[in-house]
Amino acid sequence: MKKICIIVASRANFSRIKQVALILRDSPGVQLQLIVGGSALLYQYGNVAADIEKDFEISARASFIISGDSPSEMAKSTGLAIIELTTIFEQLSPDVVLTIADRYETLATAVASSYMNIPLAHTQGGEITGSIDESVRHAITKLAHIHFPSTELSKSRLIRMGENPKSIFLSGCPSIDLAKQALKTFNPDVNKLLDYGGSGFSLDWNQDFIVVLQHPVTTQYHSVDQSVQETITAIKDLSMQTIWLWPNVDAGSDLISKRLRELKASNDNHIRFFRNFKPIDFLHVLLKSRCIVGNSSVGIRECSYLGVPCVNIGDRQSFRERSANVIDVKSDSSDIKNAVIKQITRDRYPISSLYGDGNASRFIAETLIHCNPTIQKSFHD
C-alpha cells in the first residue's frame, strides 16, 4: 500500500488539489493521507475543514497559526508548522508528500519532509510573481524531488534552476480541471448559492454583479491599508452589486478585514460579504459575475480558462504569466474604476489553456502512484 500525503492549509490549497485527492482516494493500492491545517481549520477563513470532511477522511489536523497581523507572526507560524508537521509525519510515515504552490505553510511542509528524508512532490513550481511568495516557491523547488509545473515556461525555469529534467513532469494546474468541470456544470439558477448566507447588502443574484478578492501584499505591509482603501473607493463609486470575499491569512489580513467590517457597518454600499464558497460553487459565482477585481491568482489562473474578465490590482501577481482576460492596474481608485467599467462592458474572453487543458489531476495522481522518487537529488548541469 503506497501512502501519499497531501497537506491542505487554506481554501486555495483545497481548490487546487481536490481533484487529485479524489483520484488518489479512489485508487486501489493507495492510502491517501490528508493533513488539514492552518487557516483551513479556522472559522474566520471559511472553516474549509468542514467542506473537506464531506468528501474525505482527515488523517490529521495541524494547528499552527499564531494570532497576529505582522510579518513576524507569519515567520513564527512557519516555525510552528514545521514542528507540528514533523510530529504528524512521524505518526503517518508517508511514502511521498505532495505540497502546493508557494505559501509559508508550503515551505514548512517542504522543510519538514525533506529533513525527514520523505520524498517531496511540488505543484506550480517555476512561476514568478515578484513577491515573497516567489522566493518561497523557488526555495521549495530546491527541496522538492518531483516537480509538477503548470506551464512550459515554468518547466524551463526549473531546468535553468538546475533541476533534473527527468524529475519534472509538465502537468498543467489541477485548478483548471475544476474550472473545466465548472463550465460543464454551470447553471444560471443560483438557488444553491443562497445557502451561503453572507452578510451586508441583499444581493439580487439575477442581476449583474462583480466579485472582489484582495489579499495583503506582505512585502508592502505598511501600504496595505492605503491599497484596500483605494479599492473600496473604486467599488463604492461604481455603485454596482458586489460580492466581496474575506482575505487569506497573510500579514495585513486583519487590517483588510477591519476595513471590510467598517464598510459593512456603514450600509452605504451594494456589497454582500462572504467568508468562503466551496471550490466548484466559487467558480460558478465567477462564471455568473461580470468581472473579478483584486489581486488573487484565481483571476489569472482559473479565470483565464473560464474567460472571466479580471482587473488585477498592484504587485502581488507581478510577472505571473497571464492571458488576455487580465487588465493590470496600480492601486489607484480611478484606475481600478475605469478598468472595471471596461471589463464589464465586454463579452467573455476566449478560453485559454495557458495553465492547462483540464487533465492535470489524473496525470499528477498516476505519476505519484507509479513513480519511485528518491531522496537523492540529481541536478542538471
Length of the chain: 381
DSSP-derived pairing of the beta strands 271-274 and 242-245: parallel
- Say what the pLDDT of residue 381 is: 59
Q: Which strand (E) or helix (H) includes residue 32?
A: strand 30-37
The span from the CA of 41 to the CA of 29, in Å, is 29
Q: Are residues 133 and 31 in the same domain?
A: yes
Give the three cell numbers for residue 301: 489562473
The span from the CA of 310 to the CA of 290, in Å, is 9
Q: Are residues 141 and 267 in the same domain?
A: no
How far are the Cα atoms of 201, 234, 288, 318 from residue 211, in angstroms, in the given order? 14, 13, 10, 20
The span from the CA of 69 to the CA of 72, in Å, is 8
Q: Are residues 150 and 206 in the same domain?
A: no
Amino acid letter for position 313: I
Q: Tell me whether residue 349 is in a domain.
A: no
Question: In CATH, what number is assigned to the domain containing residue 331?
Answer: 3.40.50.2000
Q: Are residues 82 and 194 in the same domain?
A: no
The residue segments making up the domain with residue 292 are 179-344
Give the three cell numbers for residue 265: 457597518
Backbone angles phi, psi at 295, to 5 degrees: -140, 25
pLDDT one digit per residue (tens) for the chain, 381 residues: 999 999 999 888 898 899 999 999 999 999 999 999 999 998 888 889 999 999 999 999 999 998 766 789 889 999 999 999 999 999 999 999 999 999 899 999 999 999 999 999 999 999 998 778 899 999 999 999 999 999 999 999 999 999 999 999 999 999 999 999 999 999 877 666 777 889 999 988 889 999 999 999 877 888 899 999 999 999 999 999 999 999 988 888 888 999 999 999 987 789 999 998 989 999 999 999 999 999 999 999 999 999 999 999 999 998 899 999 999 999 999 999 999 999 999 999 999 999 999 999 999 999 999 998 877 777 765
- Say what the pLDDT of residue 188 is: 75
Q: Are residues 189 and 278 in the same domain?
A: yes
Q: Are residues 312 and 294 in the same domain?
A: yes
- Say what the pLDDT of residue 196 is: 85
Q: Tell me whether residue 168 is in a domain.
A: yes
Q: Tell me whether residue 314 is in a domain.
A: yes
Chain centroid to CA 85: how far? 20
Amino acid letter for position 24: L
Q: Are residues 151 and 168 in the same domain?
A: yes
Q: Are residues 196 and 309 in the same domain?
A: yes
Q: Are residues 141 and 236 in the same domain?
A: no
Cβ contact 283:182 at 8 Å: yes
How far are the Cα atoms of 101, 287, 352 from residue 186, in angstroms, in the given order? 27, 8, 18
Q: Are residues 189 and 317 in the same domain?
A: yes
Q: Tell me whether residue 376 is in a domain.
A: no
Q: Tell me whether residue 378 is in a domain.
A: no
pTM to 2 decimal places: 0.92
Cβ contact 183:150 at 8 Å: no
Q: Are residues 169 and 188 in the same domain?
A: no
* Full DSSP string of 136-185: HHHHHHHH-SEEE-SSHHHHHHHHHTTB-GGGB-----HHHHHHHHHHHH
The span from the CA of 344 to the CA of 202, in Å, is 21
- Say what the pLDDT of residue 19 is: 94
The DSSP letter of residue 88 is: H
- Say what the pLDDT of residue 227 is: 95
Q: Are residues 272 and 314 in the same domain?
A: yes
Q: Tell me whether residue 350 is in a domain.
A: no
Q: Tell me whether residue 62 is in a domain.
A: yes
Burial class (CB in 10 A: 0-12, 13-18, 19+), 160: exposed
Number of domains in the chain: 2
Long-range contacts formed by 315-318: CB under 8 A, 24+ apart: 315/130, 315/131, 315/217, 315/219, 315/220, 316/129, 316/131, 316/215, 316/217, 317/129, 318/129, 318/130, 318/131
The span from the CA of 291 to the CA of 359, in Å, is 26
Q: Tell me whether residue 351 is in a domain.
A: no
The span from the CA of 333 to the CA of 228, in Å, is 10
Chain centroid to CA 46: how far? 14
The span from the CA of 121 to the CA of 98, in Å, is 5
Q: What is the pLDDT of residues 191-213, one digit of tens each?
A: 667 778 899 999 888 899 999 99
The span from the CA of 287 to the CA of 281, in Å, is 10
* Closest among 179, 182, 173 to 364, alpha carbons compared: 173
- Say what the pLDDT of residue 226 is: 94
The span from the CA of 211 to the CA of 227, in Å, is 17
